[in-house]
Amino acid sequence: MSTTINKQIHLVSRPQGEPTTGNFRLVEAPVPALAEGQVLVRNHYLSLDPYMRGRMNDGKSYAQPQPLDQVFLGGTVGEVVESRNEHFKAGDKVVGMGGWQQYQLVDANQRGVLQKVDTTHVPLSAYLGAVGMPGVTAWYGLTKIIAAKAGETVVVSAASGAVGGVVGQLAKLRGARAVGLAGGPDKCRYVVEELGFDECIDYKQHPDVKSLSAALKAACPAGVDGYFENVGGKILDAVMLRSNAFARIALCGMISGYNGEPIPMAAPQLLLTNRMKLEGFIVSEHMEVWPEALKELGTLVATGKLKFRESVAEGIESAPEAFLGLLKGKNFGKQLVKLV
Encode pLDDT of 162-176 as tens digits: 999 999 999 999 999
Q: Given a cut of 70, is residue 2 above it in pLDDT?
A: no
Q: Yes or no: say if 58 and 14 are a contact pair by the CB < 8 Å rule.
A: yes
**Rounded CA separation 4/30 (Å):** 6
The pTM of this model reads 0.94
- 80-to-91, 125, 193, 313, 336 alpha-carbon distances in Å: 5, 15, 38, 22, 20
**Rounded CA separation 90/63 (Å):** 32
Q: What angle do CA 38, 40, 43 make, to 5 degrees?
A: 145
How confident is the model at residue 260, as a pLDDT? 82
CATH of domain 133-284: 3.40.50.720
Average pLDDT over residues 207-234: 96
How confident is the model at residue 235, as a pLDDT? 95
pLDDT digits (tens, 9 = 90+) for 104-130: 999 988 888 899 999 999 999 999 999
pLDDT digits (tens, 9 = 90+) for 34-84: 999 999 999 999 999 999 999 999 887 777 899 999 999 999 999 999 999
pLDDT band at 26 (very low <50, low <70, confident <90, very high): very high
Angle between helices 209-219 and 234-241 (to 10 degrees): 50
Q: Given a cut of 60, is residue 1 above it in pLDDT?
A: no
**Rounded CA separation 65/279 (Å):** 23
**Rounded CA separation 31/40 (Å):** 9
pLDDT band at 259 (very low <50, low <70, confident <90, very high): confident
What whole-number percentage of the chain has pLDDT above 70? 99
Helices assigned H by DSSP within 18-146: 52-55, 133-140
- How many Cβ atoms are within 10 Å of 260's Cβ, its own excluded? 11
**Rounded CA separation 138/291 (Å):** 14
- 3 state SS of 137: helix
How confident is the model at residue 71, as a pLDDT? 97
78-92, 137-151, 252-266, 307-321: which has the minimum mean pLDDT?
Answer: 252-266
- 3 state SS of 236: helix
Of 151, 136, 100, 67, the closest CA to residue 301 belongs to 136
Secondary element (H or E) of residue 42: strand 38-48
Sequence-separated (6 or more) residues with CB below 8 Å from residue 255: 50, 53, 158, 230, 231, 232, 327
Q: Which amino acid, one-letter code, is at 25? A: R
How confident is the model at residue 290, as a pLDDT? 95
Q: Yes or no: say if 152 and 225 are a contact pair by the CB < 8 Å rule.
A: yes
Q: Specify whether the backbone of 17 is left (phi greater than 0), alpha (psi in -120 to 50) or beta.
A: left
Average pLDDT over residues 220-226: 98
- For domain 5-129+309-338, give its CATH number from 3.40.50.720, 1.10.3720.10, 3.90.180.10, 3.30.70.360: 3.90.180.10
Would the CATH topology of 5-129+309-338 be identical to that of 133-284? no
Average pLDDT over residues 248-268: 90
What residue segments make up the domains of the chain, in order of their start? Answer: 5-129+309-338, 133-284
pLDDT digits (tens, 9 = 90+) for 266-320: 999 999 999 999 999 999 999 999 999 999 999 999 999 999 999 999 999 999 9
